[in-house]
Structure 1
Amino acid sequence: MASKKLTDVPDHLNEEYYQISPDILESFSKFRPPLDIFRFKEEVARIEPFYRVGERLDKERIDELARLTREGFSFVSRVDHPVYVKHIAHQLDLVLVDKNLKEREIADIFAEALGMRLEGFFEQPVKAALDRLNEDLMVLTEYLWNDVYRIRALLRRLRREHTLANHALNCGLVGLGLFLKINESEIGKEITRKTFDHVTLGLFLHDLGMSKIPLFIRNKTQALSRDEQQKILNHTLVGREMLSKLDLRYKEVEACLGEHHERLDGSGYPQKLKGREISPLGRLCAVVDSYCAMITDRAHAKAMEPAEAAKILAEDQRRYDPRFTLPLQAMVLAGR
């Protein structure tokens, strides 16, 4: 689906409709497309209905729709954008094909697709589910690699309710935003595409071990028992163990999983690392994990305003590295 402006189409129509590309049409059900389709009648310069959801296209109309699409005269209403988001979320690579979607529309699609994949993966963290998630994450890295500033629209799609999948989505997006802000000049030079891919995996999967913690413990509002506390504390070690079974042996992923609860003063866990004993990516992930927890409604705490959460972290230089908290604070304030 595209918003490509045609010289023969009045400007105001491009605000109400967007053009369907041949690739997008191909992704629809041939006989029963998932949303209403309109055609542009050049002779009267007007949009009119071509297909309504619930109808069935016959062979003649399928061929006609294909011709209209090739000529740039088939459209869908922007009112149906939510329907399209859910459709394209299952075939995320199509966002790279359609060059004319608006960035905010692409951001909606990424948030829907990645949220869906993360939820499925954390419910069943097996190799097949990881492969599906990884395919979509690589679409994301391709999208951002071509223009790092595209992250801005994605950062406006953070979830405010705390679930494991929502937390992973938020940390992945905020983590990438912070990583790109700090390393913008190194993208494509010192930082290769392979490194960027591995960092992305680490940020989205940093809480992998939490998938093995029973939901009733994760959502418990009362004080945890000693045994329950130990299960929570062990989630970083459990996550590292899961990496072997999932065939994820990248240092960037290991750093995110193993170090996101370490603190500069040694008060963190599991290894009580201090200062530079914690890798730069581990320190970044620690900041991102804490920030994303603070801005969501959790079982035991209400969400903070993003600027307040970023300020608290920036002031806590005993535990959090200011080389990451200060750029995060600047990023949050710039996005308000």
Structure 2
Amino acid sequence: MSAKQKHDIPDGLNEEYYQISSDILGSFNKYRPPLNIYSFKEDVGRLAPFYKVGGRLSNEQVEQLAAMSREGLLFVSRDDHPVYVKHISYQLDLVLVDRNLKEKEIADIFTQALTRRMGDFMAQPVPLVFEKLWVDLMVLTEYLSGDIHRSRALVRRLHKEHSLENHSVNCGFLGLALFGKLQAQDFEAGRINRKVFDRVTAGLFLHDLGMTKVPPFIRTKDKPLTGDERTKINQHTRAGYEMLAKLDLKYPEVEACVTEHHERLDGSGYPQKTRELSFPGRLCALVDSFCAMIVNRPYAEGLSPVAAAADLAQDRRYDKSMTAALQGLLMQDLRMK
């Protein structure tokens, strides 16, 4: 029997408050939770303050909270959404157990968590830091494997300003949404290979890891690059490939995203100038270009998503079926301008 059936909790309550499960409560500081907590009073059918942030719970109150959470009687205000998002973003697997979060709220949590994780990894691309990123990426694939359409809420949260971590997250979110649209029938029929899905996800997020070997002053330069600087930029795909071995990520899907995202179907790309791109490579090449086009940089404002997608649809260097799917995703599914 659910908490609502047992205690007749009003349906509208979850529009203003989160119901806190035992798992979420257990993730809070035991004596000093990070936000205000309310208890449901059955006799009047309303919430009443139980704990105010900044205070300290007694041992008796800690036991009371545990009991009330098991009965479904604990809530926090959705006005504290930023605090709640920040808290769960540090323990991302909690989104898989909290049934009271809305899809858009979970998207906020993933955006904050993965942007921070990518920033940490890009600053220090070593196995120990990568292991934490991998855990969070697997939480994302577990969440999306239940319903790939959830990726649409993630795309609505693409970053507007350029940075290495923002670009990585944008490419990851958009690439997964586009992958879901291109493979919609397979997802709906449960025919998607989970290991392949995990590895494509990792490839989309990590395709630019070789850029960590390029000096920051070159990556952020707002003037034309010199020949030597351009060479250093162009070497990032090879550098990324070499880094994969150190991270124990020698999977074909990840390698394709890292090595092929600057290749083009007409052979004009780099580093191999090949015309034969894998599916992950073609997907990553498109989202990498698109995400680079829509962000603001010091020297130029980004294009609108629809305008960027239209430009890419006219460019024969990209997979035509993928550019058409991208336009459909933005104009029909997401109603982006």
TM-score by length of 1: 0.95
Deviates more, 1:183-192 or 1:121-130: 183-192
Shift in alpha-carbon separation, 1:190–1:13, aligned structure 2, 3 A: closer
Q: Provide Cα deviations, 1:81-100, integer angstroms capped at 9, x if missing partner.
A: 11010000011011111123
| Residue 215 of structure 1: aligned partner | 216
- CA drift at 1:184: 1.8
- CA drift at 1:321: 1.2
- CA drift at 1:111: 0.6
- How many residues matched? 330
- CA drift at 1:5: 5.3
| Residue 15 of structure 1: aligned partner | 15
SS at match of 1:93: helix
1:330 aligns with 2:322: no
RMSD: 1.3
Q: Is the 8 A contact 1:259 1:283 kept in 2?
A: yes
Instruction: Give the whole-Å Cα distance in 2 for the aligned partners of 1:237 and 1:11.
Output: 55
Q: Provide Cα deviations, 1:273-293, integer angstroms capped at 9, x if missing partner.
A: 12xx11122111111100000
Write out aligned runs for 1:1-336 (5 A).
8-187=8-187, 191-274=192-275, 277-317=276-316, 319-334=317-332, 335-336=334-335
- CA drift at 1:155: 1.1
Instruction: Give the whole-Å Cα distance in 2 for the aligned partners of 1:238 and 1:69.
Output: 50
Instruction: Give the whole-Å Cα distance in 2 for the aligned partners of 1:264 and 1:301.
Output: 27
SS at match of 1:157: coil
- CA drift at 1:197: 0.4
Q: What amino acid maps onto 2:277 in structure 1?
A: I
Instruction: Give the whole-Å Cα distance in 2 for the aligned partners of 1:53 and 1:158.
Output: 32
Q: Is the 8 A contact 1:220 1:299 kept in 2?
A: no
- CA drift at 1:14: 2.4
Q: Is the 8 A contact 1:5 1:14 kept in 2?
A: no
TM-score by length of 2: 0.95
Q: Structure 1: which 5+ residue stretches go unaligned?
A: none
Q: Is the 8 A contact 2:286 2:318 kept in 1?
A: yes
Deviates more, 1:297-306 or 1:108-117: 297-306
Q: Provide Cα deviations, 1:77-134, integer angstroms capped at 9, x if missing partner.
A: 0000110100000110111111231111111111111111000000000001111000
- CA drift at 1:320: 1.0
- CA drift at 1:29: 0.4
Q: What amino acid maps onto 1:327 in structure 2?
A: A
Q: What amino acid maps onto 1:122 in structure 2?
A: M
- CA drift at 1:298: 2.1
Q: What amino acid maps onto 1:333 in structure 2?
A: M
Q: Is the 8 A contact 1:263 1:320 kept in 2?
A: yes
Instruction: Give the whole-Å Cα distance in 1 for the aligned partners of 2:298 and 2:257.
Output: 24
Instruction: Give the whole-Å Cα distance in 2 for the aligned partners of 1:292 and 1:162.
Output: 9
- CA drift at 1:165: 0.2
Q: Is the 8 A contact 2:18 2:100 kept in 1?
A: no
Instruction: Give the whole-Å Cα distance in 2 for the aligned partners of 1:87 and 1:118.
Output: 18
Q: Is the 8 A contact 2:211 2:240 kept in 1?
A: yes
Instruction: Give the whole-Å Cα distance in 1 for the aligned partners of 2:216 and 2:253.
Output: 27
Q: Provide Cα deviations, 1:59-84, integer angstroms capped at 9, x if missing partner.
A: 01101111111111111000001101
Q: Provide Cα deviations, 1:125-184, integer angstroms capped at 9, x if missing partner.
A: 000111100000000001111111111111111101010000000000100111111112
Deviates more, 1:179-188 or 1:144-153: 179-188
4+ residue runs over 3 A deviation: 4-7, 187-191
Instruction: Give the whole-Å Cα distance in 1 for the aligned partners of 2:4 and 2:234.
Output: 54
Q: Is the 8 A contact 2:20 2:76 kept in 1?
A: yes
- CA drift at 1:53: 0.7
Instruction: Give the whole-Å Cα distance in 2 for the aligned partners of 1:189 and 1:10.
Output: 36
